[in-house]
Amino acid sequence: MSKIFNEHITGFKCPLCGLRKPIDLHEIRCPSCGSFFEIEYDYRALREEVEGWFAPRRMNVWAYKALLPYSTNLVPLSLGEGGTPLVEARHLMSRPILLLKNETTNPTGSFLDRGSTVLVSILNGVHRVVSCAVNGNLAVSLAAYGAKGGMKVKFYCSPDIERGEFYQAMALGAEIHVTSSQGRAYMEAFEDSDAYYVDSANPFLLEGEKTTIFEILEELSWRAPSWIAVPVGTGGHISMLWKGMKELKSLGLLKGKLPRLIAVQPEAFSPLVDLFDGEAHRRPQGTIARDLVFIEPHKLREAYNAVKESRGLAVRVNDEEMLIAVKDLASKEGVLAEPAAASTIAAIRKLIAEGLIDEDDQVVAIITGSGLKDPEIIRTLISAKSKKHLFITRPKLAILKAMEMMGGRGHGYAIGKFLRNELSLTLSLPTIYHHLREMEGMGLIKRLNILNRRVVLYELTPKALRFLKAHNYEEMNRAS
Ligand SMILES: [Zn+2]
């Protein structure tokens, strides 16, 4: 364990109840209130050394090692993460000044690589096997760093995992375990006794994620912008941005005011915004920003505190607003972002329209992940342009037909069984979910609700019923 001791680290501190404990790779939750610990540094001692840190050097995650769990005997496993561009987006808007922190240029196309390099470097040589269940993006990132370190990454997922992420993790050597549901995936990953279990709230992972804000502020000569917009899923990233800013402030590096945080969530699931609105959490609905949907967002309270302390705002955006932002970011600024990442642009536009962001403000949008993660979305975008023709493949048509014959609705497993027995078509469960999701994007089916964590029920939309009426299944089936 000694390898993770940076001499400036004083230990773990609970961000919610304030309890302090010695740093430990395994006891990462507060015994008193159950929150995930944060890592605390001796800022007074650091302050004396702060001169000279920022001599000319290549900007990347490890450039900030004095504020990371690092010691001289730790060899960073690096794939070149961090050092991402901060570029002005003049074609999107001239006033206020909008800067994009383009995290899509990280090794696996996501800001999560900043966390993976720190955590996997620490685990390297201590643990040979890592397990996780959180979401595809993190699995892909961990798999890449695991591959670099010669470690095995076991990824537990539900059958409706994004296909792109599924194959990427697999190509990077992850061992994939498809379980019956997301809840089950969490349980099996957690209970995998061979492995070190990685949760997205892991303090070592999160320490790396705060380097986004170090880079932004260093590039702005330690003057904070008026606003920083960031998508919120578990709440980990935003709470770490705030922790990082407070660290820089206490070191005397950050001059003037701290920025105000804009937390962005999809309308389909927005527990943080609900918290601000004083509403009870609603059940998640289907959304194209699936990477932001965490049934139990572990850093929700910390995210809430961060937004509140910064006098920030929490904003909901819908799928259509996100898709428009994806399209504009790509076609006007040359940045291909995933919908979750482009949500920041949608939120900023909303706040400008509402008069909450001023013309003279400087706004930074963190574009957290690449559009290449999910090629289906790009297809949806392009096909939305040519609405005249609805192209539909044989398996999709068969699924629609099966659902029609089943009374208009069904869940993945039942549809698969019906296809096999009644239409003599055998499709794997992940394939069925993949088509269901695509057709959700095409407006042909919708998620009814989540009965429990195991079953998602789908229903044909009026558009699908019209389509089935206009196209004879037997004829189309013969033709294709
Ligand atoms: Zn606590």
Rounded Cα–Cα distance for residues 33 and 47 (Å)? 31
- Whole-number Å distance, alpha carbon 390 to ligand 1 midpoint, is 53
Domains of the chain, CATH where assigned: 86-108+206-379 (3.40.50.1100), 128-194 (3.40.50.1100), 394-479 (1.10.10.10)
- Whole-number Å distance, alpha carbon 36 to ligand 1 midpoint, is 8
pLDDT, tens only, 218-231: 999 999 999 999 99
Sign of CA dihedral 353, 354, 359, 363: negative
Query: What is the per-residue pLDDT for 480?
Result: 42
Q: Given a cut of 70, is residue 390 above it in pLDDT?
A: no
Query: Percentage of the chain with pLDDT > 90?
Result: 62
Q: Given a cut of 50, is residue 67 above it in pLDDT?
A: yes
Can you tell me the mean pLDDT for 394-409? 90
- Whole-number Å distance, alpha carbon 14 to ligand 1 midpoint, is 5
Can you tell me the mean pLDDT for 269-292? 85
- Whole-number Å distance, alpha carbon 226 to ligand 1 midpoint, is 31
- Whole-number Å distance, alpha carbon 40 to ligand 1 midpoint, is 14
- Whole-number Å distance, alpha carbon 65 to ligand 1 midpoint, is 26
- Whole-number Å distance, alpha carbon 47 to ligand 1 midpoint, is 27
Question: What does the block give as tokens for 92?
Answer: 């999107």
- Whole-number Å distance, alpha carbon 247 to ligand 1 midpoint, is 20
- Whole-number Å distance, alpha carbon 20 to ligand 1 midpoint, is 9
- Whole-number Å distance, alpha carbon 263 to ligand 1 midpoint, is 24
What does DSSP say about strands 9-13 and 38-41: parallel, antiparallel, or unpaired? antiparallel
pLDDT, tens only, 295-329: 888 999 999 999 999 999 999 999 889 999 999 99
Is the pLDDT higher at 475 or at 126? 126
**Band (1; pLDDT cuts 50, 70, 90):** very low
- Could you tell me the CA-to-CA distances from 197 to 119, 133, 394 in Å, in that order? 11, 9, 40
Per the CB < 8 A criterion, the answer to whether 457 and 410 are in contact is yes
State which amino acid sits at residue 93: M
The chain-wide mean pLDDT, for the chain, equals: 89
- Whole-number Å distance, alpha carbon 23 to ligand 1 midpoint, is 14
Q: Given a cut of 50, is residue 391 above it in pLDDT?
A: yes
- Whole-number Å distance, alpha carbon 13 to ligand 1 midpoint, is 8
- Whole-number Å distance, alpha carbon 201 to ligand 1 midpoint, is 14
Residue 389 φ/ψ, nearest 5 degrees: -110, 130
* Strand, coil or helix: 25: coil
- Whole-number Å distance, alpha carbon 32 to ligand 1 midpoint, is 5
pLDDT, tens only, 165-187: 888 999 999 999 999 888 899 99
Query: What is the per-residue pLDDT for 256?
Result: 87
**pTM of the full structure:** 0.78
Query: What is the per-residue pLDDT for 380?
Result: 72
Question: What does the block give as tokens for 364?
Answer: 């930074």
